[in-house]
Structure 1
Amino acid sequence: MSLKSAQRLTLFFAALTVVLRIISDVWIRPLLVASFSSGHALLLVTLIGFLSLIVPLGAYALVLRPPWRSPRLWAVDAEKREFSANATPTAIGPLVVVFAYIASGAISGAIADFDTVAVSGFSLLLGIALLTPFIAILMTARPRLTLNRDGMTLHGLRRHSHYPWDGPFPRRPPGQWLNVDRGFLAFTLDRYRLHADTRDRIGTQAEMEDLQAAFAAIKDQPS
């Protein structure tokens, strides 16, 4: 599955969560409150609200279960002569769905209080404000890590951090959010920090194949 397809699927399940929460809050909740005693109505409203999050979140996990792209290797950009790894949708995606659920509570409140323009407008803006940062992170695939002959660059939403191969490096490789195997990431960084003669080959398919072969050989060694 491509990065764009994974992003579209994440947005679909986020939108599904919003729709289910609005239906639950605006139409189903008043119907249950009017039809059942307060205790039963509260139980049913809580259950339906819970399902409006768990159903799309569970379906999302099944459809986009990690690894969403296998094997998790560097993307090769021969033109720029660099390797790169974007943020994996499976890291930020569940947060997008959960915050879509939270934001939809404000949106459904805006619909319910439509006659009160000030309250409705504030609720709608609050819902959009809660969800926008996570959608921005998802669609920009940040953080993003690139490697070239000069070093490693971590691209965030607002700032970039560059680390020359021969200079100070982060203690921990920033692999938690990235669509690259952590062990492969650590192996790659060690290779270029310790072997300066290999840096000019970064960004080529031949070097990518050599990296895979060298990493596989280390993994196959008995511990």
Structure 2
Amino acid sequence: MGDRRGWLAGGVLITERVPGEDRVRFFESGDALVWSVLAVVAVLVAVMLVLWDDRPRLILDESGMTLRGVGKGRTVRWDRLLPGGPPAPAGKVFAALVLSEQPTSPAGRPVPRQLAVGPLHVDRAFLAATVRHYVEHPEHRSAIGTAPELERLRAAVSGADS
């Protein structure tokens, strides 16, 4: 759908019928052509911004993970997740992380939540192991996003998978 939004720009150009002929031309009276071309450029820039913003992305930070895309976002806080999950992906198809959140009532059961990661281009086994690691090791969350933390995480996750 995103690649078909540019049709809006064509309707902004002002045209007129050529007298006595069976064709149209751009309306060239005064500043109309300049303004219509500027309007086309503005529409195309707006379309590009919308297309760029629609990319799905997963953001990990100190407080939790946020999945964004297609105009919506969902945040899951680290402190709401139970240790031990999510399970590693089984097989090639892995469209969602299955997260276990703490129960809302004292006697309640853990609440299963699915975080759709199918459209993301990520190593899903690494993602599942990363989530498990940060749930179980809150002391490492403050360094998320730094190069040393990424190297430490890779070493910890690869050591845990072996």
TM-score scaled by length of structure 1: 0.35
Larger Rg: 2
Higher relative helix content? 1
Higher relative strand content? 2
Higher RCO (C-alpha 8 Å, min separation 6): 1
